[in-house]
Structure 1
Amino acid sequence: MRTVDAEHAALWVGVDVGTQSLRVLIADGTGREVGRGTSRLHSQRAAGSRHWQRPEDWWDAFGSACREATAALAGAGQASSASRIAGVAIAATSGTFLLADEAGSPCTPALMYDDARAVAQAAQVQAAGSERWTALGYAIQPAWALPKLLWLAQQASPPIRAGLADGRLRLLHCADYLASRLHGGPVATDWSNALKTGYDCDLGAWPADVLDRLGIDPMVLPAVVRPGSAIGTVGRDGARHTGLPAGTPIRAGLTDGCAAQVAAGALRPGAWNSVLGTTLVLKGVTERRLADPDGAVYSHRHPDGGWLPGGASNIGAGALAAWFPGVDHERADADAARHEPADRLVYPLTATGERFPFVRPDAEPFEIGGLVDGSDRYAAVLQSVAYVERLCYAVLRRLGADVTGALFLTGGATASPYWTQLRADILGRAVRLPDCPEPAFGMAVVAAAGDGPLTETARRMVRASRTVEPRPGAAARFADTYRRFLDALAARGWISDDLARYAQELT
């Protein structure tokens, strides 16, 4: 067993594969950051809500970001050398996967977390396992991995369909692909990444009967373990590519939303985390699993017991990049502060479809109301994302979740002090900002916890930075615009009139 000093001397590597970048962060046992690296990623999109990336680009970005992070260790001197690295864990977007051959080489592009091409297949998957999905609290969506796997089995090129039919191809979630390249051979996945591929967290197995009805060979799917479990070690090729020491343990990871939750330390019942990056993801902790008949909310299993319910919206900071390319965000924030509330209401989707706080594959972005100038429109996006966040918490509360505990904010959007203040104002809640609010840091915590208690490890490593209180009178200032926003959603049939009325109450 390590002594406390030895635990602090050890270094832990966390990796976060996002939509636009891959981040690597190295921390010691006290949670102090000692190295980081970042590399850009690029997507391709097409009509029909298709979104994909090249898995090889992930591997290249991983190598570049990891070498940058380990070079920072070398620059810090012998006391922080890479030889002290004791584990690595990887997080990635939920539902993102590719198909690979038996050697692990990609045979398809990676279908991304919000690729919603599998509309017909989602209905087939739902019908094939309706009783099981109801028991698990799942409502199958087109963007989930299992419907997209069925789409490939039905619509892909003949070699891909044949490889799936005879079990020669393998499904690899994003984190699985990078871990297998790092290890130099096959690795298990974790039950967090496996959820949207249909994994039965109650049974602890893939649903063989459902797969049989769908004509999917179970051999296509990976073995599944608890997050934090050892799944391999860094091989020689992986070490050369990344700068990580050969033989370093690789630990099973989590989805990015769960990783951000770990980074916040929101791991006890009643605590919640909102991670606002390209999209908005909410995760919390409950002792019992929530049941959402609409399927917007689903629950991961907590590594320490209990459940991690939440959902992922398609709106977020990505709308700023799409709607206001090249904008100076600091100046735009200052200008937006003159429009409280904005005259315009928007639902800032960047593609068709919404997953949370309601499920509408046909949802389209909208803009209604007056427009004073460009800064009014920018303000409308900031405010509308906060309105959606508040509605998300109303949905969770209506399902029976305790949302009265500590509320943490993580994700890239916390770099904006104004947007953070605005979110606290509209939520009507004090919000806490962790010292290091990044999913990559959450994965460093997972690597440090390993097979042990994740909640206790997070308690040692996660440090709070500051608390932001809502400004006096802010809730009243935004109340009427929030009501009009809810009415606009109800008028489109995206939410019920009952939910619109319920959500007007302060969360």
Structure 2
Amino acid sequence: MMFEGAGEAWLGIDLGTQSVRALLVTADGTVLGAGAAPLAGHRDGVRHEQDPGEWWEAVCRASRAALAGREPPGARIAGLAVCGTSGTVLLTDPQGQPLTPGLMYDDGRAVAEAARVGMQTSWALPKALWLREAYGRGRVTHQPDVVTARLTGGVVPTDSSHALKTGYDPEAEAWPPPLAELDAVLPDVVRPGTRLGEVCRTAAEATGIPAGTPVIAGMTDGCAAQIASGALRFGAWNSVLGTTLVLKGASAKPVRDDAGVVYNHRAPDGSWLPGGASSVGAGALPTGVDPASMDLRAAAFEPSGALTYPLTSPGERFPFLAPDATAFTLGTPSCEADRWAAVLQGVAFTERLCLDYLHHLGAGIDGPLTFTGGAARSAYWNQLRADVLGRPARVPEQIEPALGMAVLAAHGTTGLPLAEAAENMVRIRMVVEPRPARTALFTDPYARLVTELESRGWLPTPVAAHARTRLNLDTDAP
């Protein structure tokens, strides 16, 4: 079902690690305008901070660029939503003004706090506790909340998606009692898709977004990318491959995982978006080379002469939890192209293991699979991943979280179910079909990687056994 929207468009804003992106999108998925503005950060060892003031400045520049170039210029902006990096947090005063730097998702200083609350250091709650200890005061605030407060002219609730990694219970839809020590400084929470307010006149002058434009509660960047993929029907999955790898799916009920590897976001309609984030990804590829050229040369090494587990940083989070895990390579690549091939294949093997782990937990994985993220621009890597997985994959025209926020804004302002809004606005560019002969070639190296991860004590034996059992099945079997 299409929704009425002639002459209307929705603005999606994505607060990324390196830039802010803005997309203005119509009801049928036509992009009327796009804008971007860079973000700087401060890295020093495990420390990674950004200046929250720069988030707002970049939003202003990106929004103005998206609106200035829109065609037709008279399209009405019917609403907007903002996503941010999951786990990025700061402290603000009662008026929403930043009191601290933004601790980015990969800031690693809250080790003691993470151990105390039983969470990964990438989650927001350990960082919030660290900030309270270091700065002594302030309200816990997530990255997009800084922007939505500036847009509406006052403090607004956070969304349950960003609050998840601060310890919010999405099933009870409440902050749990163990967070009593932070109760006075935790934000109010609403479901994604909730109307937060309207763009105020001051923000309109700064951003170019018309005053009175509805501001809709967003979701994390991973969930935004999932919405942009259209993977919202139960059993569908979106594999987001950028610097690291994230898998997001849709389910009628939460996927239970005692190990805490898979977590569940609450969708706007009350259903569930389970997923997990691995530390493997394109960030493990060598720099200073032409990726397209290396892809062409890597095609001669299927499979590679080396077996690589390509972690981008120490520690793994999905498909197993192993803080002491490190990248490794078994065997010696014959040349740079072989080394490149080993990384591409290692990521694809991990992707397959993630799906095997989800199947082990009882998650439905038999719906369509979609590739998004920066790596989805590589036609070769898309084909390789489909071959390793042994299942087809869809590749959308737009692979940006900002599109997902435009879709969410449309849902929040029109009332159309999110899955239907996504099907109207997300355009699939192509479907990559696996080549059975290639799938068979990669079976042995995949099994070797599973065994190696098990022997190192990182991958639990029941999970390894389940993955090996599934080698005798069609990889897309439920």
TM-score (norm 1): 0.89
Q: Does 1:211 align with 2:179?
A: yes
What is the percentage of aligned positions where both structures have the same residue? 53
What is the rounded CA distance, in whole Å, between the counterparts of 1:313 and 1:93 in structure 2?
15
Q: Does 1:97 align with 2:89?
A: yes
Q: Does 1:352 align with 2:314?
A: yes
Q: Which residue of 2 aligns with 1:187?
A: 156
CA shift at 1:237, angstroms?
A: 2.6
**Selected match of 2:255 from 268, 272, 290:** 290
Q: How has the CA–CA distance of structure 1 residues 356 and 427 changed in structure 2, closer, same or farther, with 3 Å as cutoff?
A: same
Which residue identity is paired with 2:436? P
Number of equivalences: 468
Q: Which residue of 2 aligns with 1:489?
A: 453
Q: Which residue of 2 aligns with 1:440?
A: 402
CA shift at 1:341, angstroms?
A: 1.2
Q: Which residue of 1 aligns with 2:142?
A: 173
Q: Does 1:28 align with 2:26?
A: yes
CA shift at 1:46, angstroms?
A: 3.1
**Selected match of 1:319 from 284, 293, 299:** 284
Q: Does 1:456 align with 2:414?
A: no
Which residue identity is paired with 1:68? A
Q: Which residue of 1 aligns with 2:444?
A: 480
Q: Which residue of 2 aligns with 1:420?
A: 382
Q: Does 1:222 align with 2:187?
A: yes
SS of 1:254's equivalent?
coil
CA shift at 1:427, angstroms?
A: 0.6
Q: Which residue of 1 aligns with 2:120?
A: 141
Return 419-428 or 479-488, whichever deviates more: 479-488
What is the rounded CA distance, in whole Å, between the counterparts of 1:41 and 1:358 in structure 2?
32
Return 346-355 or 143-152, whichever deviates more: 346-355
Q: Does 1:198 align with 2:170?
A: no
Q: Which residue of 2 aligns with 1:132?
A: none
What is the rounded CA distance, in whole Å, between the counterparts of 1:52 and 1:348 in structure 2?
25
1:134-185 superposed Cα distances (whole Å, 9 cap, x missing partner): xxxxxx322211122122233x1xxx11x1xxxxx12211111111122222
Q: Which residue of 1 aligns with 2:74?
A: 81
CA shift at 1:39, angstroms?
A: 2.0
SS of 1:193's equivalent?
helix
Q: Is the 8 A contact 1:8 1:30 kept in 2?
A: no
Q: Is the 8 A contact 1:408 1:432 kept in 2?
A: yes
Return 297-306 or 424-433, whichever deviates more: 297-306
**Selected match of 1:70 from 39, 62, 67:** 67
Q: How has the CA–CA distance of structure 1 residues 45 and 361 changed in structure 2, closer, same or farther, with 3 Å as cutoff?
A: farther
SS of 1:466's equivalent?
strand
Q: Which residue of 1 aligns with 2:220?
A: 255
Q: Does 1:60 align with 2:26?
A: no
CA shift at 1:4, angstroms?
A: 5.2
Q: How has the CA–CA distance of structure 1 residues 503 and 305 changed in structure 2, closer, same or farther, with 3 Å as cutoff?
A: same
CA shift at 1:500, angstroms?
A: 2.1
What is the rounded CA distance, in whole Å, between the counterparts of 2:74 and 2:322 in structure 1?
50
1:391-415 superposed Cα distances (whole Å, 9 cap, x missing partner): 1101100000111111111111111
Q: How has the CA–CA distance of structure 1 residues 503 and 275 changed in structure 2, closer, same or farther, with 3 Å as cutoff?
A: same
Q: Is the 8 A contact 2:42 2:50 kept in 1?
A: yes
The residue correspondences of 1:264-343 to structure 2 (distance < 5 A) are 264-320=229-285, 324-343=286-305
Which residue identity is paired with 1:269? F
Q: Is the 8 A contact 1:37 1:69 kept in 2?
A: yes
SS of 1:24's equivalent?
strand
CA shift at 1:313, angstroms?
A: 1.3
- Segments of structure 1 that go 5 or more residues without pairing to the other structure are 127-139, 164-168
Which residue identity is paired with 1:201? P
**Selected match of 1:153 from 132, 136, 151:** 132
Say what the alpha-carbon RMSD is for the aligned residues.
Answer: 1.7
Q: Which residue of 2 aligns with 1:131?
A: none
What is the rounded CA distance, in whole Å, between the counterparts of 2:308 and 2:394 in structure 1?
27
Which residue identity is paired with 1:67? R
What is the rounded CA distance, in whole Å, between the counterparts of 2:14 and 2:282 in structure 1?
17
Q: Is the 8 A contact 2:192 2:267 kept in 1?
A: no
Q: Which residue of 2 aligns with 1:498?
A: 462
CA shift at 1:350, angstroms?
A: 2.7
Displacement over 3 Å in runs of 4+: none
Which residue identity is paired with 2:17? T
Q: Is the 8 A contact 2:390 2:436 kept in 1?
A: no
1:302-331 superposed Cα distances (whole Å, 9 cap, x missing partner): 2123211111112222223xxx22321111
Q: Is the 8 A contact 1:313 1:354 kept in 2?
A: yes
What is the rounded CA distance, in whole Å, between the counterparts of 1:455 and 1:201 in structure 2?
20
What is the rounded CA distance, in whole Å, between the counterparts of 1:59 and 1:314 in structure 2?
29
Which residue identity is paired with 1:63? C
TM-score (norm 2): 0.94
Q: Does 1:233 align with 2:198?
A: yes
Q: How has the CA–CA distance of structure 1 residues 50 and 345 changed in structure 2, closer, same or farther, with 3 Å as cutoff?
A: farther
What is the rounded CA distance, in whole Å, between the counterparts of 1:4 and 1:393 in structure 2?
34
